[in-house]
Amino acid sequence: MMIGAMIVALVSAIAIFAPWLAPYDPDHIVIRDMLLAPSAAHWCGTDTLGRDVFSRLLYGARISLLVGFVAVGIALLVGTVLGAIAGYASGLWDNIIMRWTDMVLCFPTFFLILAVIAFLEPSIWNIMIIIGLTSWMGVTRLVRAEFLSLREREFVLAAKSIGTPPVRLIWSYLLPNAIGPLLVSAVLGIAGAVLIESGLSFLGLGVQPPTASWGNMLTEGKDNIQIAWWLSVYPGLAILITVLGYNLLGEGLRDVFDPRLKR
In this predicted structure, what is the pLDDT of residue 145?
87
Torsion over CA: 60, 65, 66, 71 (sign)? positive
Residue 35 lies in a domain: no
Is residue 250 classed as helix, strand or coil in its secondary structure?
A: helix
What's the mean pLDDT when you consider all of the chain?
Answer: 86
Residue 259: predicted pLDDT: 54
Alpha-carbon distance 243 to 4, whole Å?
9
Q: Specify the pLDDT at position 74.
A: 94
Q: Is the pLDDT of residue 263 over 60?
A: no
The Cα 80–Cα 85 span in angstroms is 8
What pLDDT digit, counting tens, does each position of 212-238 carry? 888 888 888 888 888 889 999 999 999
* Averaged pLDDT for residues 153-168: 79
Residue 41 lies in a domain: no
On whether residue 210 sits in a domain, the answer given is yes
pLDDT at residue 94 greater than cutoff 70: yes
Q: Give start and end residues of each alpha helix (H) in the chain.
A: 2-16, 18-21, 53-89, 91-105, 109-117, 124-133, 137-150, 154-161, 166-169, 179-202, 214-223, 230-257
Kindly tell me if the per-residue pLDDT of 257 is higher than 80. Answer: no
How many residues are present in the chain? Answer: 263
Whether the CB-CB separation of 212 and 59 falls below 8 Å is answered with yes
pLDDT of 23-82, one tens digit each? 999 988 888 988 889 999 899 999 988 999 999 999 999 988 999 899 999 999 999 999
pLDDT at 9: 93
Mean pLDDT score, 135-139: 89
Which structural domain range is residue 227 located in? 2-15+50-261
Backbone angles phi, psi at 52, to 5 degrees: -75, 120
- 202 and 218 Cβ atoms separated by less than 8 Å: yes
Question: Is the pLDDT at 239 greater than 90, yes or no?
Answer: yes
Query: Residue 242 falls within a domain, yes or no?
Result: yes
CATH classification of the domain holding 111 = 1.10.3720.10
Task: Report yes or no on 165 lying in a domain.
Answer: yes
234 in a domain, yes or no? Answer: yes
Based on the structure, what is the number of domains in the chain? 1
Is residue 158 one of the residues assigned to a domain?
yes
For 127-184, the three-class secondary structure string (H helix, E strand, C coil) is HHHHHHHCCCHHHHHHHHHHHHHHCCCHHHHHHHHCCCCHHHHHHHHHHHHHHHHHHH
Q: How confident is the model at residue 260 (pLDDT cuts 50, 70, 90)?
A: low
User: What pLDDT is stored for residue 134 in this prediction?
Assistant: 86
Q: Considering the chain, what percentage of its residues have pLDDT values greater than 70?
A: 98
Cα of 40 vs its chain's centroid, Å: 33
The per-residue pLDDT for 77 is 93
Q: Is 175 exposed, middle or buried, given 0-12, 13-18 or 19+ CB atoms closer than 10 A?
A: middle
**CA neighbours closer than 13 Å in the CB half-sphere of residue 258:** 15
User: Does 22 fall in a domain?
Assistant: no
Q: What is the mean pLDDT of residues 133-151?
A: 87
Question: Could you say which DSSP state residue 44 is in?
Answer: T
C-alpha span between 231 and 44 (Å, rounded): 8
Amino acid 258: pLDDT: 66
For residue range 171-201, what is the model confidence (pLDDT) as tens digits? 887 888 888 888 888 999 999 999 988 888 8
Amino acid at 176: P
